[in-house]
Structure 1
Amino acid sequence: MKARVKWVDGKQFVGINERNSAVVMDSLKEAGGEGVGIKPTELLLISLAGCTAIDVISILAKKKQIVTSFSVEVEGTQRKDYPQAFEDIRIVYKLKGENLDISAVHRAIELSETKYCSVRATLTGHPNITHTFEIEP
């Protein structure tokens, strides 16, 4: 899997995946940006919510649960000191459906958290992150 981030102007960047889907990132105005895009830290929370949401809705479908409405809300608290990493992340799953089985919902969330969600596994693990750089002509 590959992704690329390209500088637009100021503190605005566009992130692009291998399928050319894009997302605009920016800093808030009070941090010198224009505030027109998603902050990278917000994108991290969105990635976590999206990953677990896909898992849970897929597992519930396999368990023949009829879900009519589903959302995942994620709230993170960052340290005040740099690098201002998240020290706490809370996930709230909100579901509506026909005769939803509480144990099926609980198990779907548990499986996402412990087995399937690669974003969560990355956040709770310690991936080896390396870098290089190239000065282009």
Structure 2
Amino acid sequence: MKTTKSHTKWLGNLAFESSNPGGNLIIDAAIEQGGSGEGLRPKALMLNSLAGCSAMDIANLVTKMRAEIDTFTIDVEGDLTDEEVQTYHTFRINYTFFGNNLDREKLKKIVNLSTQKYCGVMIMYRQFAKIEIEINYVAS
């Protein structure tokens, strides 16, 4: 069993410095929630985790499968419940591939491998939320 650790220190008000093996970041609440708006939001970081996990899979698979792309982007939106304690119920993930010789079938396979097999964050999130996937292709 592998264990991952993080460390979070209170900086005052609703601001915190948080670290993990890859670096540090500041977490803070929005001004309207009593924070100073100077850091990243905890729930929004969940969207970054989802995109980052899948992005690493795709970068590896693009190389292994020799897919020709210039670059790609991932945009994630999350819908929150209306309850007092809001939780995500739906995530929409939009993958956009840029390049002149895009093999749509190969790129679709790459996205499917990430979203269905390799991305542990996506697999965890599917236990509590619906995930919708969209793939776009843009000639550079």
Band the TM-score falls in, shorter-chain normalisation = 0.7 to 0.9
Matched with 1:118 is 120
| d(CA) in 2 for partners of 1:121, 1:110 | 12
CA distance in 2, matches of 1:98, 1:4: 44
Unaligned runs of 5+ in 1: 127-137
Q: 1:6 aligns with which of 9, 30, 35?
A: 9
1:56 shift after superposition: 1.2
Partner of 1:84: 86
Larger RCO (CA under 8 A, 6+ residues apart): 2
Aligned to 1:15: 18
On the 8 A contact 1:72/1:91 being kept in 2, the answer is yes
Residue 70 of structure 2 aligns to a residue whose secondary structure is strand
Unaligned 5+ runs, structure 2: 129-140
Identity %: 32
Q: Distance in 2 between matches of 1:5 and 1:83?
A: 22
Aligned residues: 125
**1:77 maps to amino acid:** D
Task: Give the whole-Å Cα distance in 2 for the aligned partners of 1:9 and 1:57.
Answer: 38
Check conservation: 1:26, 1:38, Cα contact below 8 A.
yes
Contact residue 3 and residue 16 of structure 1 kept, 8 A? yes
Residue 40 (structure 1) aligns with: 42
Which aligned pairs between 1:54-73 and structure 2 lie closer than 5 A? Answer: 54-73=56-75
Which SS does the other structure have where 1:34 is aligned?
coil
Instruction: Compute the displacement of 1:61 (Å).
Output: 1.3
Query: Match of 2:12, as an amino acid?
Result: D
Q: Give CA deviations for 1:52-98 in whole Å, capped at 9, x if unaligned.
A: 11111211111111221211000011012132101111000011124
Which letter maps to 2:28? D
Asked whether the 8 Å contact 1:65–1:98 carries over to 2, the reply is no
8 Å contact from structure 1 (residues 72, 94) kept in 2? yes
Where 1:93 maps in the other structure, the secondary structure is strand
1: CA distance, partners of 2:109 / 2:59: 12
Could you list the runs of 4 or more consecutive aligned residues of structure 1 that deviate by over 6 angstroms after TM superposition?
A: none
